[in-house]
A and B are shown apart, each in its own frame.
Chain A
Amino acid sequence: MFRPTFLVHCVLSCMLGLLVCTSARGDVKDIDFQRDVRPILQTKCLKCHGPYEPAGELDLTRRESAIELQAVVPGQADASTLIQRITAADDAIRMPHQSPALSAHEIAILQSWIVSGAHWPAHWAYEPLKEIEPPELRSKSLQQWCQTPIDYFVAAAQELRGLVPSPLANRRTLLRRASFELRGLPPTTDELNTFLSDDTPDAWAKCVDRLLESPAYGERWARHWMDLVHFAETHGHDQDRPREHAWPYRDYLVRSFNQDKPYHQFVREQVAGDVLDPLNPDAIVATGFLAAGPWDESSLRDIREDSIDRVAGQYLDRDDIVTTVMSTFMSTSVHCARCHDHKFDTISQREYYGLQAVFAGIDKANRPYDPDPKVAGQRASLQSQLRDLEEQYAADPPALLTDEANAIVAEWESTDEAMPVRWLPMELVSAVSQGGATLTVDTSHHTVLASGTRPDKDIYSIDAITDLRQISALRLELIPHDDLPMRGPGRNDNGNLHLNTIRCFEVLTEPDHLREWSFKKPLADFNQQGWSIDMSVDGDPNTAWGIYPEVGRLHQGVFPLSEVRTSSQPQRLRIELHQIHGGGHLIGCLRLSVTDVGASLLEQSTTIPEDIAQILQVPRHQRSMDQRAVIAYWILTRRLTQQLGALPTEQFVYVGTNQFAADGSFRPAEKPRTIHVLRRGLLAEPGDEATAGALSLIPSLPSQLAVRQADNEGARREALANWLTDQRNPLLWRSIANRVWQHCIGRPLVDTPNDFGQMGAMPSHPELLDWMAYYLQQHGGSLKELQRLILTSAVYQQQSTNRTDGAEVDQENRYLWRMNGRRLDAESYRDALLQVTGVLDSTIGGPSVRQFIETPGVHVTPNVDYDHFDPGDPSQTRRSIYRFLFRTVPDPFMEALDCPDASQLAPQRNSSLTAVQALATLNDKLVVHLSQRFAESPEADQPELEPQVRLGYRRLFGRDPHNDELQRVTEYARQHGLANACRVLFNTNEFLFVD
C-alpha cells in the first residue's frame, strides 16, 4: 500500500503542481485545514458523518469525536481509522461507502494533515473578528499596484499563484461599471463629460462619492435587499391577494441605504423596530421585513380554525420568518433543522423551534401607524392616558373625582351637548321577514328578535306607531342577545350584520297607501371599516352599514329626517330594513325610537349611551358618588377619545405584528402561541414546548436570549435583535461584508452567501472577508464606507478583458486578476432603456405602480394582464423598483431576464442567456415603444440621420460610433427608420453587458 511519508507526499504534490505544501518561500509548510482538509471532509464524509445521527457515532465536524473514536490519531496517519478506511482495498470496508474512492491527492492531504498534528480549528465563520494586518507583498510592482488595504489581500493571493492583475480600465468603462453597480443606471452624457474632463488626482474618488450620494443608490441597493428577503406585494398562494400597504417597507429600504443607516441599526429595526423605537415610524415600517414573504390566506384566514391545516399553516408561516431572518442576517441555514437536528451544523431542532417561539406572537398583517413621529407621540400619550384612566377606574372609581376632573365634568354639563335627547320607543304593530325568519315582537321592551330560518338575505318590514307629534329623527338600536351568535346583534356567525338600505314610510289611512320620508346624513356610534352608516341611505344596494368587529354590544344608528314631520295625531310608520349583502348578515335584535330634538343636538349626543343619559337626567347634587364617577369616567374617556379622533388618520403598513384588526378567524395572538418541538417536523408528533432562544453555534455568544418578559412577544423579538447585533456575533458582519463585495465585484467571496455553515463554500479570500467584516464593525456599520473603499481599490479598477495567461491558471477568475464583466439584470436593463430614451421618471417612493391591467377575478385573486397594458402609460416610466410585484403572475419580461421568483429568497441572481430572453428584448412592447420614443424625441428631431445615430451611440454606449458603425446604422435607419435602428442598438451585447 502506498504510504507516503510527509516528505514523499510533498515531493509528489510538487510534481503535481499543487500548492498545499509550499509557501511562497518554497519551503515545507503545514497544510491549511480550512483550505485543504475541510473541503474533502465536507464533500466526501459529512453526508453520513455529520452531527445529526452520525454513522458509527463518528461526527467529522468535531475534532473531539474524530479523536475519541481514533478516526484521527494526531501524528500517526497509519493508526488513524480514517486513513485506513479511505485506503482500504476491500470495497465493503473502503470509505466513502458506495461512492468513488478519494483521489491519491486527497488521501495525501489527509495523511499529511494527520502527520502534522491534525490541527483542526473551529469553523471559520464562527471565529471572533479581530484586526488583521494586510499581508506583505514580495513583488515591488504589486506593492505599487495596491491602492487600498483590500488590494494587498487580493494581490497576495495572486502572487501565491503567479497571477498578475489587469491594467486599469479606461474612464468610460469605469464610470459605466460603477454607475450600474451603485445606481442600476448608466451614466448620463453630462456625467461622463464631467468625469472625463476632471484631471485632478482624486477624480475617480470624487466620481464614486457622487454616485454614492445619488438618490438612485438607495433604489439600487433596496432592490438587492428585496431579492434577499423575497419581498412582493401579494400573498402568493391560491388566494393571491394584493397587499396595498407593503410598499412603505420598500421606501424604508431606499431611505435607509441612502442615509447609510448603520447596519446593526438596520438589522435591529427590521427584527424589532416597533418594540425598540415605538414612536419612530421608520422603525415600525422596518418590520415589513418580517412580512416580506408569502402568506397562505386560505389556511390562515379562511379554513376552519379547528382544522389541522390552520395550525400547519401557522408553523409554516413562522418557518418563513425564521428562515428569512437567519438566512439574511446570519447566513445560516437554520431551516434545515425543522424536521431533525441540522445534519451538518450544530443547530438542534430545539434551537430551531426556539426561534419559532421568538416569532410566535406575530402574524403578517396591516398594522396602523402614524407616518408623522409627532402625531405618533401624541397618540401614544393619549392612549397611555386612556389606559391609566381605565386602570384607575377599575381599581377605585371615586378616586377619579379630582378637582380637575370635576371641573371638566361641570364645564361639559353646561354645554348643549349634555342635553339628553329624549328617545321615545315606538309601539310595535307587526314585523315581517321576507326571507322566512321568525320575527318575535316584545311589546314590553319594544324589541324585535329574529330566530328560526336564517336566510342568506332578508328584508324586514316593521309597522309601528308613535304618539310623538313632531318627529325629527328615527333611531335604530341593535341589541345584543344571548340567543344570537357571538351575542349578536347580528345573525351572522361572527355576530355581524349588514344593513344595505333603511326606508321609512308614513302609513296613511289605508295600509297600502304610503308616503316615503327621506333621511339626511345618518349617525352611528360605530362603523365597521368600509361599512359606514352612510351606506345604508346611499341608494346603492351593494353597500351597507356594519358593526364588525364590535360584536356583542349595543349599537345605534340615528337617521335624521330631511324635514321635521308634524302631525296632530299618533303616526303610523313602516320601516323597511333591507339586508341583502348575503351570507346571513342579518339583524338579530332591534328597537325603533323617535325624537323631536333638533339636528345639531342629535349629532352631538348620538354617542351618549343610555346609562349615561339616565344619570344625566338626575340633578347633579342628587347623584351618588358612583354615579358621579361613572359620568366622570365617561367624559374623561370621551375627551381623550375625541382628541385621538382629531389626530390625522393612521396609515397602514404590512408588517409582522400583533397590532391588527381581526379579519374573520384570523386574529392577533394575545400572547405568543405555544410552540412545540415537532418530531420529524410533524404536527402529529409534538414534543416539548419550545422556549424562545437563539443558536449555540458561535462559541463566544451564548444561545440564551435575555427576554425581559417571557410571555411578551415584543420582548422576545427585542432579545433576538440584541443577540443578532451583539458585539460578539461575527457572522452578522461576515455575512454583510460578503454581500457588499458580491454586488460591487460581481461575485461573493463566499459563493454561498446565505450559508456560511459546514456545507457552505469556503471564502476565496478568508482574510480579506474578515478584514472587511471587522472594518465594517469598526466603522459604525457604514456600508457606503466599505463600498467607497472597494470601488477605489485597484482590484475594482482593472479591465475585465480576458487574458490567456490569467485564464490558464484561474479560468473562473476566482483570484480577481481581472474585473468581472456582467450582464445587466432585469431592472437595470429596463431602467437603462428608460434613461437613454429620456423618459425615466426619477420620482422616489410612494405606492407601487401596476404595470398590468388588473380586473376582479372570480375569487380573491385578481386577473392580471400584462399583454394589453399600454406601454405608453406614464407608470411605465417609473424605475423598476416601483413596479407592483405580483407574486403568482410575475412580469414575463422581467422573468426572462432572471428577475427571481419573489416567493423564494434570492441571495444571488441567475444570469442566463436564452432564446426566450432574446425574443423578449426584441419584441417586448415596452422595448419597441421606447425605440419609437427615442426616434421621436426632440433631440433626435434633426434633418440628418447621422447626428441622430451619433446621439444614440452617446446615450447608449457613452461613445461615438466608429465610421463603419455610423455608416451601417445610418444606412439601416435610412431604409427602415430610426425606431428600427434604435431597437437594434437596444439589443446589442454592448448595451446588455457591462465591462
Chain B
Amino acid sequence: MTLQCERLDSRRSFLQRAAQGFGMLAVFDLLLRDAVADTVTSQRADLHGGLHHPAKVKRVIQLFMNGGVSQMDTFDYKPELERRHGESIDFGLKAAVTSPLGTIMKSPFAFRQYGESGRWVSDVFPQLAQHVDELAFLMAMRSKSNVHGPASYLQNTGNVNPGFPSLGSWLSYGLGSLTDNLPTFVVLPDHRGLPYNNTGNFSAGFLPAAHYATVIRPNNAIPVPFLRPPANATHITGESECEGQRLLRELNANHLMNHPDDSRLEARIQSFELAARMQTSAPEALDLSHESPATLSQYGIDNPNTEPFGKNCLIARRLIERGVRFVQVWSGMGGPKNNWDNHSDIPQELPFIASMVDQPIAALLRDTRERGLLDDTLIVWTTEFGRMPFTQGATGRDHNGGTFVSWLAGAGVRGGTAFGQSDEFAYQTAIDETTGYDLHATILHLMGIDHTQLTFSHNGLDRRLTDVHGKVIQQILA
C-alpha cells in the first residue's frame, strides 16, 4: 500500500504554481532540495550541474573499508620488508598506539604486477587487480589520528571531532538531488552492523535534516526508515491510505486559505507528494529480482561469502542509476573483529575480509563501465588509516596514520596512475603526501565545486568540508 494512488502533480508543475503564487526561492529553500540558495537561480547549463565550474562527475559511490586497511599487504609493495623481516628497527617511537613495538614483518602475501601500468597488488585482491589500469591510486595518504573514532570522523567529515557534516551531506547541500523519487545521500552499512562511530560517520552535523543520510538495510523488513506503516497496523489499508491522503490534502488546503502566502505550509503539502513517490521508487530500486543471473553471479550474490557486500554494490549501482547523488558502501563493522582492523593475525584475517569484497568491487567497476555509468560516476575506495610495518603480537599490525592507500576510478580520473610514495617500510609518507582533505577537495572539484567556496556558517565559523586545508590532486585527473 502506498500513498501514490492518484496522479500527483509533477514537481515542475508544483514549482510553476508556486512561482506564480509567491517566492519560488522560498519553496526551494524550505524543501531543501537545492540547498545553496543563491546558487539555485544561477545554476548554469554550461557547468553540467557543477556549482563553481563544469562538473565531470554527477554522482559518487564510496567504498569505505572500516578499520584501517594494511597498505603493505594490499597495494603498497615493499621488498625492504622482506629483506629486513624479523629485525627490530628504531622508528623513534616508544610504542604503537595500542601495543609495544614489534619486529619488522614482511607481507605474508605474494605480490604481482598487473595491467599495462604494472601496479603491484597482493594476492588478497586477485579480481580487483585485473582493473588496476582503471584506478588512480593515492599511495601516500596521511591521517593525523591513529585512533578509529577520530580518524573515521576525519576521513568522512574532515574533522576529528564528532558532529560535523559528512561528504555525502555536503554534496547534498551543495548540489541538491538528481531525483525527487529517492534520497540524495544513501548509506549501505556492512550487513553485520554499523561502523566505528555508528551513524556519526554519515551525520549531517549542523546542516538541515534534508541532508541527512538515509541508511538502507536491504535485508530489513522495512529497509528504508518510515517507508511503510508498521506491519501490525492492520487498520491501515491501501484504501484508507488513499482516502486519508486526500482528506489530509483537503484539510491542509483549507488551512492554507486562512494563511495566505505561507510558503512553508505549501511546502509541507508538497512534501507528502514527494514522500509518496519515494514509497514507490525505493522498493523498486532495492528489488534485484529483475537483474539477470549473470549479473547476480558477477557480483558474487550466488556465493554466501560475497553475497552481502556484492548485494550492496549492486544496489549502489541501481541507486546511482536512478539518480541518487552519493552512495556510501561500508565493509566492516565497529569493534574488534569483522572488519579491516587486523591487530592479531594479518595472514588469517586480512584474506578473509578481502575475499568478501574483491569480486563485488571488480564487478561494480566492470558493470558501471559497461553501462556507461562511469562516464559521470566516480568510485572511491578508502579507509581511515594504514597499519604498522612491524608486528603486534605474533602476526598482527597496529594502527598507523603515517601512510595508507586509497584509489579512485571513473569520470574525470586518469586510470593506471599512482600518486605519492611511502618510505621503504611503508611506515610514513615519503613523496607527494596527500590527506583526506585533498581527497575531499578532489571529489568536490570533479563535481564542479570549489571546496574553499562551499561553506556553511555555524557557531562563529564559515565551516568547510576541508576545514582550512585541502588541495585538488591534479596529478590523477584526466
Show the binding face of A for B, using Cβ within 8 Å. Answer: 230, 236-240, 294, 296-299, 302-304, 306-309, 312-313, 316, 319-320, 323, 327, 332-333, 335-336, 339, 752, 754-755, 757, 759-760, 801-802, 804, 807, 811, 821, 823, 857-859, 861, 863-864, 867, 871, 887-890, 892-893, 895-898, 900-907, 910, 912-920, 922-925, 928-929, 932, 964-965, 968-969, 972, 975-977, 979-981, 983-985, 987-990, 992-993, 995
In contact, B267 and A913 (Cβ under 8 angstroms): yes
In contact, A903 and B275 (Cβ under 8 angstroms): no
Q: A857-B193, A992-B268 are in contact. List 16 more A-B contacts (CB 8 A).
A: A236-B162, A755-B459, A757-B460, A858-B337, A859-B336, A889-B199, A893-B226, A904-B162, A904-B206, A904-B458, A905-B459, A913-B264, A915-B275, A916-B214, A975-B243, A989-B252
Separation in Å of the A105 CB from the closest CB of chain B? 19
Separation in Å of the A949 CB from the closest CB of chain B? 12
In contact, B247 and A969 (Cβ under 8 angstroms): yes
In contact, A916 and B460 (Cβ under 8 angstroms): no
In contact, B262 and A821 (Cβ under 8 angstroms): yes
A976 to B236, alpha carbons, bound, how many Å? 8
Total number of residue pairs linking A and B with CB closer than 8 Å = 296
Supply 9 A–B pairs (Cβ within 8 Å), ascending by A. A298-B149, A304-B96, A898-B208, A904-B164, A913-B32, A914-B210, A915-B278, A918-B272, A980-B236
Give every chain A residue within 8 A of B161 (Cβ-Cβ). Answer: 294, 316, 319-320, 903
The residues in B between 184 and 211 inclusive whose CB is less than 8 angstroms from any CB of A are 193-194, 196-200, 203-210
A913 to B30, alpha carbons, bound, how many Å? 6
Interface flags for B203-226 (1: CB within 8 Å of A; 0: not) read 111111110101000001010011
Separation in Å of the A865 CB from the closest CB of chain B? 11
In contact, A238 and B197 (Cβ under 8 angstroms): yes
Among B98, B193, B244, B272, contact of A304 (Cβ-Cβ < 8 Å)? B98
Q: A914-B31, A919-B279, A928-B230 known; A802 and B244 CB under 8 Å?
A: no
Give every chain A residue within 8 A of B371 (Cβ-Cβ). Answer: none
Give every chain A residue within 8 A of B277 (Cβ-Cβ). Answer: 915
Question: Does B45 make an interface contact (CB < 8 A)?
Answer: no
Separation in Å of the B358 CB from the closest CB of chain A? 24
Give every chain B residue within 8 A of A977 (Cβ-Cβ). Answer: 235, 240
In contact, A922 and B226 (Cβ under 8 angstroms): yes
A236 to B225, alpha carbons, bound, how many Å? 22
In contact, B149 and A901 (Cβ under 8 angstroms): no
In contact, B198 and A889 (Cβ under 8 angstroms): yes
In contact, B335 and A859 (Cβ under 8 angstroms): yes
In contact, A919 and B227 (Cβ under 8 angstroms): yes
In contact, B261 and A802 (Cβ under 8 angstroms): yes
Give the size of the chain B interface in residues (CB under 8 angstroms).
97
Sort A-B residue pairs by CB-CB distance and give the 10 closest, nearest first.
A333-B460, A237-B149, A903-B163, A904-B163, A755-B460, A888-B198, A903-B162, A858-B335, A238-B196, A859-B335
A810 to B105, alpha carbons, bound, how many Å? 70
In contact, A993 and B264 (Cβ under 8 angstroms): yes
In contact, A895 and B226 (Cβ under 8 angstroms): no
Give every chain B residue within 8 A of A928 (Cβ-Cβ). Answer: 229-230, 233, 236
Question: Does B457 make an interface contact (CB < 8 A)?
Answer: yes
A624 to B435, alpha carbons, bound, how many Å? 73
Give every chain B residue within 8 A of A922 (Cβ-Cβ). Answer: 3, 226, 229, 272, 275
In contact, B265 and A857 (Cβ under 8 angstroms): no
Separation in Å of the B246 CB from the closest CB of chain A? 9
In contact, A918 and B268 (Cβ under 8 angstroms): yes
A980 to B267, alpha carbons, bound, how many Å? 23
In contact, B152 and A238 (Cβ under 8 angstroms): yes
Q: A237-B149, A896-B226, A989-B265 known; A919 and B239 CB under 8 Å?
A: no
In contact, B335 and A861 (Cβ under 8 angstroms): yes
Give every chain B residue within 8 A of A981 (Cβ-Cβ). Answer: 247
In contact, B248 and A987 (Cβ under 8 angstroms): yes
Separation in Å of the A924 CB from the closest CB of chain B? 6
Give every chain A residue within 8 A of B160 (Cβ-Cβ). Answer: 316
Question: Does B20 make an interface contact (CB < 8 A)?
Answer: no
- Residue of chain B at shortest CB distance from A896: B209
Separation in Å of the B167 CB from the closest CB of chain A? 16
In contact, B147 and A858 (Cβ under 8 angstroms): no
Among A306, A889, A984, contact of B95 (Cβ-Cβ < 8 Å)? A306
Give every chain B residue within 8 A of A985 (Cβ-Cβ). Answer: 251
Give every chain A residue within 8 A of B197 (Cβ-Cβ). Answer: 236-238, 240, 888
In contact, B198 and A240 (Cβ under 8 angstroms): yes
The residues in B between 164 and 192 inclusive whose CB is less than 8 angstroms from any CB of A are 164, 180, 183
Q: A294-B162, A988-B248 known; A912 and B457 CB under 8 Å?
A: no
Among A888, A914, A969, contact of B32 (Cβ-Cβ < 8 Å)? A914
Give every chain A residue within 8 A of B258 (Cβ-Cβ). Answer: 801
Question: Does B300 make an interface contact (CB < 8 A)?
Answer: no
- Residue of chain A at shortest CB distance from B262: A802
Q: A917-B209, A988-B252 known; A863 and B193 CB under 8 Å?
A: yes
Give every chain B residue within 8 A of A929 (Cβ-Cβ). Answer: 230
Give every chain A residue within 8 A of B335 (Cβ-Cβ). Answer: 857-859, 861
Among A823, A859, A923, A989, contact of B334 (Cβ-Cβ < 8 Å)? A859
Separation in Å of the B396 CB from the closest CB of chain A? 15
Q: A320-B161, A867-B220, A912-B32 known; A895 and B255 CB under 8 Å?
A: no
In contact, B30 and A980 (Cβ under 8 angstroms): no
A888 to B228, alpha carbons, bound, how many Å? 24
In contact, B269 and A989 (Cβ under 8 angstroms): yes
In contact, B255 and A912 (Cβ under 8 angstroms): no
A987 to B240, alpha carbons, bound, how many Å? 14
A912 to B30, alpha carbons, bound, how many Å? 6
In contact, B275 and A972 (Cβ under 8 angstroms): no
- Residue of chain B at shortest CB distance from A935: B235
Question: Does B41 make an interface contact (CB < 8 A)?
Answer: no
In contact, A976 and B240 (Cβ under 8 angstroms): yes
Q: A307-B97, A888-B197 known; A907 and B459 CB under 8 Å?
A: yes
Question: Does B285 make an interface contact (CB < 8 A)?
Answer: no
Give every chain B residue within 8 A of A323 (Cβ-Cβ). Answer: 459
Q: A904-B164, A917-B209 known; A980 and B203 CB under 8 Å?
A: no
Q: A887-B200, A979-B235 known; A901 and B150 CB under 8 Å?
A: no
Question: Does B444 make an interface contact (CB < 8 A)?
Answer: no
In contact, B193 and A858 (Cβ under 8 angstroms): yes
A615 to B148, alpha carbons, bound, how many Å? 56
Question: Does B145 make an interface contact (CB < 8 A)?
Answer: yes
Question: Does B12 make an interface contact (CB < 8 A)?
Answer: no
The residues in B between 10 and 58 inclusive whose CB is less than 8 angstroms from any CB of A are 23, 30-32
Among B198, B220, B233, B457, contact of A861 (Cβ-Cβ < 8 Å)? B198
In contact, A892 and B268 (Cβ under 8 angstroms): no
Question: Does B254 make an interface contact (CB < 8 A)?
Answer: yes
- Residue of chain B at shortest CB distance from A332: B460
In contact, A306 and B94 (Cβ under 8 angstroms): yes
Give every chain A residue within 8 A of B237 (Cβ-Cβ). Answer: 976
Among B146, B149, B247, B268, contact of A984 (Cβ-Cβ < 8 Å)? B247
Among A760, A968, A980, contact of B250 (Cβ-Cβ < 8 Å)? A968
Among B96, B200, B334, contact of A857 (Cβ-Cβ < 8 Å)? B334
Question: Does B259 make an interface contact (CB < 8 A)?
Answer: yes
A823 to B268, alpha carbons, bound, how many Å? 10
Question: Does B294 make an interface contact (CB < 8 A)?
Answer: no
Give every chain B residue within 8 A of A811 (Cβ-Cβ). Answer: 23
Separation in Å of the B65 CB from the closest CB of chain A? 15
A240 to B203, alpha carbons, bound, how many Å? 15
In contact, B259 and A802 (Cβ under 8 angstroms): yes
Question: Does B333 make an interface contact (CB < 8 A)?
Answer: yes
Among A230, A857, A984, contact of B251 (Cβ-Cβ < 8 Å)? A984
Identify the interface centre among B96, B230, B279: most chain A CB within 10 Å of its CB: B230
Give every chain A residue within 8 A of B200 (Cβ-Cβ). Answer: 236-237, 240, 887-888, 903
Q: A230-B163, A912-B208, A975-B243 known; A923 and B228 CB under 8 Å?
A: yes
Give every chain B residue within 8 A of A867 (Cβ-Cβ). Answer: 220, 222
In contact, A923 and B148 (Cβ under 8 angstroms): no
A804 to B262, alpha carbons, bound, how many Å? 12
Interface flags for B105-119 (1: CB within 8 Å of A; 0: not) read 000000000000000
In contact, A333 and B209 (Cβ under 8 angstroms): no
